[in-house]
Structure 1
Amino acid sequence: MTVTVEGPAPQQPQLLRSADTPLGRARVARGWSQDKAVRALILLAESWGWQIASESSLKVQFSRWEHDATRPGETYRVLLCAIYRTTPDALGFNRPRTDKPATTSKSLRERVGELEALVERLSGYLGAVEGVQA
């Protein structure tokens, strides 16, 4: 059997990508883009009479949640479990955070000192270059 298509070949849909986190993998497993997941979240919240963030805010939040930059609040956890038809554990909500340790004031002081020393060295180099050009 031969299949023929008139006109130009259709474009292949974009490959679904996500962060390698339980939440990101759950979305891709459903075959959803982030936009589709956001719309599903909004539709479910509306059907339940729940008030949630705007679509544009949710798009930003979705990315942050999937990259584990922040964790969704309880309302969003319930909604996400419902749209993906899974449990909080499966979406990684109950696992410990893997955040980097908080920056201490000592390490900030050390970093500022390093930057100040770098500025002084660069200023010295610049002065030497200007002296050569004069």
Structure 2
Amino acid sequence: METRWKRMRFERGWSQRDVLRRLAAAARRQGVTLPAEGSVIKALSRWENGHSRPTSFYFGLLAEVFDLPPDAGTVPVAVPKPGTVTAELKSLRAEVERLAELVSRLAAVA
């Protein structure tokens, strides 16, 4: 199954390592560092093959790397160093808050 992440990478003629370098640069601009290269490549492969979805932290970096508009999905959130339990929990909490807000908006419209 081809996902948009894989399609956008192929459209640009980038390797996964090219995406990794761009993700690392985007993370540095946000003042954070990525986990080990192998971990990020493995995650990227899982996102590209539809086995998992990026957290809001990684979505923010991917949106910057692929020049996606802000309304293309979740917005980047400031999180602790990625790859830590604290970072993942904070990312998940932000995602839950975002979804709760969407549910609230839908309930108000209905």
TM-score by length of 1: 0.49
Matched, 1:68 2:32: no
Q: How many residues align?
A: 74
Q: Which has the larger radius of gyration?
A: 1
Unaligned runs of 5+ in 1: 1-18, 95-134
- How far apart are 1:89 and its partner, in Å? 7.2
Using the alignment, how far apart are the partners of 2:54 and 2:37 within structure 1? 15
The equivalent of 1:84 in structure 2 is: 66
Using the alignment, how far apart are the partners of 1:49 and 1:34 within structure 2? 22
Could you list the structure 1 runs, at least 4 aligned residues long, displaced by more than 3 angstroms after superposition. 87-90
Q: Bigger relative contact order, structure 1 or 2, given CA contacts below 8 A and separation 6+?
A: 2
- How far apart are 1:44 and its partner, in Å? 1.3
Using the alignment, how far apart are the partners of 2:71 and 2:13 within structure 1? 20
TM-score by length of 2: 0.59
8 Å CA contact 2:47, 2:54 repeated in 1: yes
* Change in CA separation of 1:41 and 1:20 when aligned onto 2, cut-off 3 Å: same
AA aligned to 1:59 is: I
8 Å CA contact 2:3, 2:47 repeated in 1: no
The equivalent of 1:51 in structure 2 is: 33
Using the alignment, how far apart are the partners of 1:72 and 1:87 within structure 2? 17
Using the alignment, how far apart are the partners of 1:31 and 1:39 within structure 2? 14
When you count helix as a share of all residues, which structure comes out higher? 2
* Change in CA separation of 1:79 and 1:65 when aligned onto 2, cut-off 3 Å: same
Question: Alignment partner for residue 40 of structure 1, among 10, 19, 22?
Answer: 22
Unaligned runs of 5+ in 2: 75-110
Q: Deviations over 1:59-116 (max 9, x none)?
A: 11110010010111011000001000014776xx68xxxxxxxxxxxxxxxxxxxxxx
